[in-house]
Structure 1
Amino acid sequence: MIARRLRFSFFIALVSFALVRPALLHAAALETLIIENASGPISFEVEVMRTDAERQRGLMGRAYLPEKRGMLFDFGAPEDVRMWMKDTPLPLDIIFIRSDGTIARITKGEPFSTRVLPSGEPVLAVLELNGGTSAKLNIQTGNVVRHKLFGTAN
């Protein structure tokens, strides 16, 4: 009976590890990013995607993004950017950010959509947050994003 319980416990531990391990492999170190709006600063913890491979993977396949968490895509130099939501099960707010840290455009990303979401102008980065966060926190175009990428960190 005890051996049976031990085997069952071991099986549960293996299954748990198998389920958690992919999420850990995709998670990058978190950095603080602040958006300043009319109400004051709003702090987020973000994963920064700097390589082509990281940017291509993004939030694909992730079923959950904690509140006040996001993903910042660093393109290295300002460029016209196109995003899409293929293989992304989460609704997202997609925030296009100029090199000076100001928000150029905010658009909604629908889960699994292959619709192309253009920046509309050259941007240095894109921030992805849970869908509805921008409206809930009154984040708007023109707001300033503070992060070392833009030289605007406090």
Structure 2
Amino acid sequence: MPVMKKAVAFIAAIAAAVLMPVFAQEAQMNLPRVQLAAGMHRIDAQVAQTGDQRMTGLMFRKEMPKHEGMLFVFEYPSQQCFWMRNTLLPLSIAFVADDGTIVNIDEMKPQTDDSHCSLKPVRYVLEMNTGWFARKGIKAGAKLTGEPFRK
């Protein structure tokens, strides 16, 4: 019987070690920030530029101020695809070329695995609260300005 108890304890310890990171996930709130603009509209964007930062993105957030967003920065242009697993907020997503031109915009529903992809290779992706771009009249072809887009 003691062997069985040890085996159960060992399996429980392994399961806890594997599952603990899943349950311990928290929203990342302290990323660097950059000021962007879409015409006269200002955006205070957190910058996700490492693989881990991009992978977590806006997951686990319960709210985001209306003038804030998250800018995802990739090393080089490629087709970027996003989903909303573990993301509690409905979001609008803009896929942005190196010069700040918005390639395409999409609306994303929370906690789904639906894929939302850029129509062509991009280095930047900007997520905002759902409907933000539509409410501001910002469409594909509009330009974002700010430090990342200055070359």
TM class, shorter-length:
0.7 to 0.9
Letter in 1 for 2:102: I
Partner of residue 101, structure 1: 100
1:40-55 matches, cutoff 5 A: 41-55=40-54
Q: Tell me the matched-pair count.
A: 126
Partner of residue 56, structure 1: 55
Partner of residue 122, structure 2: 123
Deviant stretches of 4+, over 4 Å: none
Give 1:102 shift. Answer: 0.2
Partner of residue 29, structure 1: 32
* 5+ residue gaps, structure 2: 1-25
Root mean square deviation of aligned Cα: 1.3
* 5+ residue gaps, structure 1: 1-21
Quick one: distance in 2 between partners of 1:31 and 1:87?
Answer: 25
Quick one: distance in 2 between partners of 1:44 and 1:26?
Answer: 16
Between Structure 1 and Structure 2, which shows a larger proportion of strand residues? Answer: 1
Look up the SS of the partner of 1:61 in the other structure. Answer: coil
Look up the SS of the partner of 2:70 in the other structure. Answer: strand
Letter in 1 for 2:100: G
TM-score by length of 1: 0.78
Quick one: distance in 2 between partners of 1:137 and 1:44?
Answer: 12
Give 1:120 shift. Answer: 1.5
Identity, in percent, stands at 33
Give the number of the structure whose alpha-carbon radius of gyration is greater: 2
Look up the SS of the partner of 2:88 in the other structure. Answer: coil
Partner of residue 16, structure 1: none
